[in-house]
Amino acid sequence: MATERASVADYFDDLDAQVARTNQCLADMFLDPELGHEVTVTGDGNLTSVSDFSTTIPNWIDYEDVAGTVVKLDDAGGYIPSAQAPLVVRVSDPTTTVGPLNFEGWNDQDLSSFIMLDMSEASGPVTVDGLEYGAVWAPGVDVVYTSSRTTNGQWFIDDFTTGGENGGGGGELHHHTFLGELLCDVDDTPEITSQAVVADSADGLLPADGGTVVDTVSYTGLEPETEYTVTATVMAADGTDTGITATTTFTPTSSSGTVDVAIPVTPEQAALYAGQDLVIFQSVALDGTEVAGHEDLQDPDQTFGVAPIPATGGFDVVKAIDGNGAPLVDPTTTFTVTWEVVDGPSTGRSGTLEVQADGTVVAGPDDLLEGDVVEFSELTAPDVENADFSDVTIDPESITIDPASPTTPVITVTNTYEAADVPFSIHKEFAEGSVVDASDFEGEFFTVEWEVTVGPDVDESGTVELPADGDPVVVEGLRHGDAVSFTEVSLPEPPEGVVW
């Protein structure tokens, strides 16, 4: 079987406020004789006597005055704890163990509804061993129950452990609702306090690009089932109104409780106050008239900080072309350079830049954060006609963003292209109308010298023997862009009567 809500406390929307109110009532009772009457305790050792009880207001005694003793009621004037005049037993430090209350003659379980042990001042934990009757009020205190006796009362504690460390005990806990009436010196004038928290913030700061601040307003003294308006106004530390505000309407179900006001802060607003503390003022209004306000520039609970605008930097990228095929690369050829933040605050951020072969510097992002480590790569180089891609080098291959640097780092991506191999062929022809032809030189060869005058293979040279029949001779090993000149340096003897 599952309950609708996860814990008992979840069924009480204003539990914290009610606990605080009860604690204050008890604290006031011990100080103000009009709210609580201190019982006279006399005697020592194993016997004590109590007297001078009130029958109209709550009575109280200190646990240490009666601990471990038999409490005689001969002088109590017939006092019996009641709803109007309950008995509160104050348990405070250094007490860490509470035993039975041995009031002679008080054996009726019904008295458990009118006796309270107030442990709200104990720092805890407290061990209960032998207590048979009385409510236990111990908010925020861990209690260990080791008694073998059955106890009767209503317990309100933080963490409850039975059996103790050694698994002893075994007594039962029977519930008896506390029915005593405490007199509380509570001002009915509405009052509010608040606690500001930045939503989704690990360090408690509002990011410099904005976010949401949740202001939890705690109230007392409001009229249940009445609609109120709460307005949160954000102020600079010097009291200047920032113009940031939010309003929420709510209808309390009890006089005290809490309401959340979500305050959105835009990136523009956050940037104006980056690196500063801001303070939230609250106002609760009924039908347009303020009934409670909270304005304290020094209250840390109303204060939140805005993160400073982070220092940023960037980089530029330029393309360089190298190799003997460089002249073949069109200056408008576009290359894609990839960058990625591999370490630092912006880890995982990445992008690409399009750079041209003409050496134009291209600006990269300028909003990378200090300490970002950026790496660069070029995955695919474009094809260039009559040239072969050889290599790409990147200098530097990575950088660390330093906003304090006086210059923007320039990443040079150099592509090396080599001109493609281009053979040439040469053959012998006789001019039309010539008095001789190939048949006149059967088996003869014509010698031609060649030389590269411009290009990747400048100054390369060679000799070709051309057969007279016109068969071509192919020369390998030159590259695109080579300019070749030719000279015929040796001719065979022409037939008689023919001059070359």
pLDDT in tens, 56-112: 999 999 999 999 999 999 999 999 999 999 999 999 999 999 999 999 999 888 899
Q: Does any domain span residue 238?
A: yes
Least confident segment among 165-169, 192-196, 247-251, 285-289: 165-169
For the residues 318-330, what does the mean pLDDT come to?
93
pLDDT at 389: 93
Let me know whether 80 and 158 are in one domain: yes
Average pLDDT on 140-158 reads 89
Determine the number of helices (DSSP H) and then strands (DSSP E) in the chain.
3, 40
100/63 same-domain check:
yes
Could you tell me where the beta strands, DSSP code E, fall in 64-154?
70-72, 87-90, 97-98, 102-103, 115-118, 126-128, 135-138, 143-145, 151-152
Cβ-contact 156, 137 below 8 angstroms? yes
Host domain of residue 142 = 8-174
Domain boundary pick from 306, 328, 359: 306
In a domain, 498, yes or no: no
Count the neighbouring beta carbons within 10 Å of the beta carbon of residue 498.
11
pLDDT at 237 over 90: yes
Flag whether pLDDT at 259 surpasses 90: yes
pLDDT for the residue numbered 187 = 58
Res 17: pLDDT: 79
Phi, psi torsion values for 410, nearest 5 degrees: -110, 125
Instruction: Residue 245: give its domain's CATH number.
Output: 2.60.40.3930
Eight-class DSSP state of 385: T
- Look at the block and give the residue holding tokens 């409780």: 257
Look up residue 179 and give its amino acid: L
132 with 275, same domain: the answer is no
Q: Cα separations (Å) of 399 from 78, 359, 364, 371, 394?
A: 89, 21, 13, 9, 11
Residue 204 lies in a domain: yes
Q: Are residues 104 and 148 in the same domain?
A: yes
Same domain assignment for residues 385 and 398 = yes
- Answer whether residue 240 shows pLDDT above 70: yes
Q: What is the pLDDT of residues 345-392, one digit of tens each?
A: 999 999 999 999 999 999 999 999 999 999 999 989 999 988 889 999
pLDDT attached to residue 203: 86
Q: Within 10 A of 221 (CB to CB), how many other CB atoms are there?
A: 16
CA dihedral sign, ordered 69, 70, 75, 80: positive
Tokens of 462: 């060679």
pLDDT for 86 equals: 96
Report the Cα 442 to chain-centroid distance in Å. Answer: 93
For residues 340, 344, 346, 349, the Cα torsion angle rounded to the nearest 10 degrees is 20
Considering only residues 178 and 162, tell me which one the structure prediction assigns the higher pLDDT: 178
Q: Mark whether 103 and 151 lie in a shared domain.
A: yes
Q: Judge whether residue 44 has pLDDT over 90.
A: no
Amino acid (1-letter code) at residue 205: L
**Percentage of the residues of the chain whose pLDDT score is greater than 90:** 70
For 406, residues 6+ apart whose C-beta sits below 8 A from its C-beta are none
Say how many domains are in the chain: 4
Q: What are phi and psi of 208, to 5 degrees?
A: -65, -15
The predicted pLDDT at position 49 comes to: 95
Give per-residue pLDDT as tens, 105-135. 998 888 999 999 999 999 879 999 989 999 9
pLDDT higher than threshold 80 for residue 275: yes
Name the average pLDDT for the chain. Answer: 91
Mean pLDDT calculated for residue range 180-191: 80
Strand order in the sheet with 143-145: 97-98, 126-128, 143-145, 160-162
Q: Confidence band (pLDDT; 50, 70, 90) for 267? A: very high
Pair (231, 324) in one structural domain: no
Same domain, 122 and 50: yes
Q: What pLDDT sits at residue 246? A: 97
Q: What is this structure's pTM?
A: 0.43
Residue 425 has a pLDDT of 92
What is the model's pLDDT at position 166? 55
Residue 497 located in a structural domain: no
CA distance 209 to 201: 13
pLDDT digits (tens, 9 = 90+) for 400-445: 999 999 999 999 999 999 988 888 999 999 988 888 898 889 889 9
